[in-house]
């Protein structure tokens, strides 16, 4: 009988199902890694700007907050 349930799914179907199963089980770990990756990229971008560097450098003529 054609059109019934297929007892032998194709290799592609099994591969897709296994990927979905993996994502379902590892959802928290995937989101955890993505969060830190995105946070690292944003932090790296912010700290590479020259204006950010001026926060850490003593400005001449400014308030003398640092003893050196």
Tens digit of each residue's pLDDT, the chain (68 residues): 555 566 788 999 999 999 999 999 999 999 999 999 999 998 888 777 776 666 666 556 656 565 55
How big is the chain by its Cα radius of gyration, in Å?
27
Q: According to the model, what pLDDT value does residue 63 have?
A: 60
Q: According to the model, what pLDDT value does residue 35 have?
A: 96
Q: Is residue 17 part of a domain?
A: no
Q: Is residue 16 part of a domain?
A: no
Note down the domain range covering 41. 31-59
Q: Is residue 40 part of a domain?
A: yes
Dist CA 29 CA 20 (whole Å):
15
Q: According to the model, what pLDDT value does residue 15 have?
A: 94
- Helix ranges (H only) for 1-68 are 11-25, 27-47, 50-56
Q: According to the model, what pLDDT value does residue 21 have?
A: 93
Q: Is residue 11 part of a domain?
A: no
Q: Is residue 9 part of a domain?
A: no
CB 46 within 8 A of CB 52: yes
Per the structure, how many domains does the chain have? Answer: 1
């Amino acid at each position: 009988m054609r059109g019934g349930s297929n007892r032998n799914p194709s290799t592609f179907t099994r591969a897709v199902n296994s990927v979905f199963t993996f994502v379902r089980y590892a959802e928290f770990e995937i989101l955890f890694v993505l969060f830190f990756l995105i946070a690292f990229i944003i932090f790296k971008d912010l700290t590479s700007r020259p204006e950010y560097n001026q926060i850490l450098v003593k400005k001449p003529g400014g308030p003398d907050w640092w003893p050196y």
